[in-house]
A and B are shown apart, each in its own frame.
Chain A
Amino acid sequence: MTPALYDSLDSLAQGIEAMGSMPAEYYQRMMHKIPEAPSVQRVPWLLHRLAGKVILDVGCHGPLHSALLKVCTKAYGLDHEAASYPDYRQMDLESDELPQYADVEVVLLGEVLEHLMSPGVLLWQVREKYPACAVVITVPNAFSSAGQAWIQKGIEQVNADHTAWYSYWTLTTLVTKCGFVVKEWYWAGGVQYTAEGLLFVCQAGEA
């Protein structure tokens, strides 16, 4: 049974008003209302939220992982580069099998999905190996104000290794297709809609 699109007559009326003169089919397929969400600072939020936890930091190489090692009970790390972190494993996130650590409480995918050719494959592995864990995902926001001035000059401001841009809608669609439910989400670094990034807290849904 498909639930109703609107939960009240008022919201139905507002939805139709927002459509303007667009055909309903086009509007429903292409236009997506972004729910209200607060904006946070990414690194302080992560350090506060993950403090005292046992985490698996996927794509960990960088200063954030060093900071997390100081506040987490334990921080396993995975990345493709050689590194000397404790509890670190060098691996190819695209093709190697994800290790399974029994004591992990939270899986962190911080600024990693946008580097991958097949982010869904990694998310499927996380869901399979860590079904009971919270999964924290951060990505750059496709509609960030940061690059808008440059694009007007014909310059795309993006990490040269990135393969994708994510928005609230596309990241929600990706994680949902991979079997997760979005439990919380935030804008990261800036004001809503045009913040630098997105921060999702997900949980594996029912199989």
Chain B
Amino acid sequence: MQIVKQMRQEKSGLERTCLEHAKYEARAGHVVAIREPQGQLLWGQDFEPDVLTIHSQMSPTFYHEKAAKVFICHGEPLSSVGNGVSFKAVLDLAPLMDCFICMRTAEYPVWNLIKRTYVTRKGVDLEVFTPIEGVQKLEGEPAILYYENQRGVRNPLYPLCAMAQVWKKLPRARLHVFNITDQKQAETWGTFVKQCKLWPFVRTLSGPVKHADVAGLLNRADIVVSALYPLSARGIEALACGRAYVSAGYDEPGYPWRVPEYSVEAFADTLIACAENWDKINYRTWAEERHNEADATAERLAIYERYVP
């Protein structure tokens, strides 16, 4: 197939996922290009597509294109409503699409009301996110890492509060907060740690992390904690790096370290349980079996083929 992906040049998880899709679809033998909705060809050759995958916006020049049009649901629906524009944009695009693809079963009932929706697994590039031998570990037993791009209610408040309880049970546990990109956030967390005397167990409050450094950073931790809730599909790269992942939003059946409710106590209990039974599963194997981007790509390609004219 000849696949054109429409993607805005914007630093985001959406962009990262789109590039992973492009890499693995090309590797599967398809001709792939990435084009901005405004028309600029970003990568690949100029060709007539069989399939258009839309990653947030579509160029009006493609409205009447015969190619199959597939909308990739990157953002989870509650955030889409919450940011005031995305959900309406999806509704406006829907009549032009042949189908939607989302990457979490929990999102399916929402998206499928709008358009015929398929669910694929959420893939991770297992070549990029992989266990690395010999990296210098972050301080702590366990060393717990929070590195999400903070935005709105997506922030480390509950993990920070939970650490006070974790530390009482596990005095050598330490939390490291990376990827603080905003000065006000930095001041907020700095003041919080100082004023509430969290410094015995909060050892890092640090700035932006380059994408190329993320795999190395994940490898420095024992546990990666996510505060995303309720429909999280991010942060699972930690599993591919062989690290435990603690999240209230990750609901893959059989995964032992899902935080059962969004509360400080539940975060603390789950972090302690994870630390005490860290090797209950092999995290890399878990990622290989459930989040291999090559498998996710095969699932997507099978969906595209249904709609190729």
Contacts and interface: CB of A to CB of B under 8 A. Distances in A.
Interface of A: 1-9, 12-13, 15-17, 19-21, 24-25, 27-28
Interface stretch (B42-50, B61-69, B262-270, B279-287): B42-50
13 contacts: A2-B41, A3-B41, A4-B41, A4-B44, A6-B42, A6-B43, A7-B43, A9-B19, A12-B43, A17-B212, A21-B11, A24-B36, A28-B40
B23 interface: yes
Contact of A17 (B22, B38, B210): B210
Nearest to A13: B19
A9 B43 CA distance: 7
Nearest to B39: A2
B133 interface: no
A8 B42 CA distance: 9
A13 B16 CA distance: 8
B33 interface: yes
Contact of B40 (A2, A7, A13): A2
Contact of A8 (B9, B11, B43, B45): B43
A4 B4 CA distance: 13
Contact of B211 (A2, A13, A21): A13
A4 B45 contact: yes
B91 to A, nearest CB: 25
Given A4-B41, A17-B211, A24-B36, A9 B22 contact: yes
B238 interface: no
B178 to A, nearest CB: 16
Contacts of B42: 4-6, 12
B41 A16 contact: no
A3 B41 CA distance: 7
B68 to A, nearest CB: 22
B8 interface: yes
A86 to B, nearest CB: 54
B130 to A, nearest CB: 16
Contact of B41 (A5, A9, A19): A5
Contacts of A19: 9-11
A4 B43 contact: yes
B195 to A, nearest CB: 29
- The interface centre, meaning the residue of B8, B42, B210 with most chain A CB atoms within 10 A of its CB, is B42
B15 interface: yes
A173 to B, nearest CB: 19
Contacts of B44: 4
A19 B41 CA distance: 17
A7 to B, nearest CB: 8
A101 B113 CA distance: 77
Contacts of B15: 13, 16
B34 interface: yes
- The interface centre, meaning the residue of A9, A20, A25 with most chain B CB atoms within 10 A of its CB, is A9
Given A4-B44, A15-B9, 13 more contacts: A2-B41, A2-B46, A4-B33, A5-B40, A6-B43, A8-B43, A9-B22, A9-B23, A13-B211, A17-B211, A19-B9, A24-B10, A25-B38
A17 B40 CA distance: 18
B10 A12 contact: no
Contacts of A27: 9
Contacts of A9: 19, 22-23, 43
A15 B8 CA distance: 12
A28 to B, nearest CB: 8
Contacts of A2: 40-41, 46
A2 B212 CA distance: 29
Contacts of B41: 2-5
A4 B45 CA distance: 7
Contacts of B211: 13, 17
B149 to A, nearest CB: 11
Contact of A16 (B10, B23, B38, B212): B10
Ranked 9 nearest A-B pairs via Cβ: A24-B9, A4-B41, A12-B43, A6-B43, A1-B46, A4-B43, A5-B42, A9-B19, A16-B11
